Amino acid sequence: MIHIENLTKSFYFQGHRKVVIDDLSLTLPTGKSLALLGRNGAGKSTLLQIIAGTMHADSGRVLSDGSISWPVGLASSFHRDLTGVENVRFVARIYGVDTDQLVAFVEEFSELGKSFHAPLRSYSSGMKSRLTFGASMGIKFDTYLVDEVTAVGDRLFKRKSRRLFRERMESASAIMVNHSMGEIRKFCNAGVVLEGGKARYFEDLEEAIALHEETLS
């Protein structure tokens, strides 16, 4: 279970305050893989980062009875001056998992070769995605936060990534942001629609998708 309590988040732009999350309270049940839907700028990625603990809210709190990943695909969570392997070791220490096991898993999965030992600043966007996706999948979280990414790399590597993600979903939940309703339907079984800083939970995924598409029209 993830319980969001009186959560508010705003940003200042050119001297004006924009409220993205507005006194939001919501309980997300255990055992559901949730689609987080909303128009561009609705605050979906912001909410994911607050749930993950990688961004602070103005007020309110997030409580959980299980482990939560950082947003999969968010390369900004990694330090550009550290090597790939140094970033993975740092992540392992933060999340309290076996360092050598995680390094070995990511090195094999990412197929980065010698670049695994090079600074992240030298990586292409695709290489960063392989590293960050591999690191997140290498830790068995109770809930995975997924921001647009369920597979990375070329066709064969994407197939490998999706297979691994499906394996993780057999014993875990997810909160997923994705503009492809096809991808949403593959992995999610319930939905949350974020609009105007507020959110509505739907046990029926199709009801959530219908409301989301209505807000876009």
Residue 73, pLDDT score: 66
Phi, psi of 10 (to 5 degrees): -135, 160
Average pLDDT along the chain, 217 residues, taken 10 residues at a time: 94 91 92 92 92 94 92 77 96 94 96 96 90 92 85 80 89 91 91 94 96 88
pTM of the model: 0.87
What single letter denotes the amino acid at residue 174?
A: A
State the sign of the Cα–Cα–Cα–Cα dihedral 163, 164, 165, 171. positive
Residue 143, pLDDT score: 93
Residue 194 near residue 211, CB atoms below 8 Å: no
Query: String of b and e for 18-53 (b: at least 16 CB within 10 Å)?
Result: eebbeebebebeeebbbbbbbeeebbbbbbbbbbbe
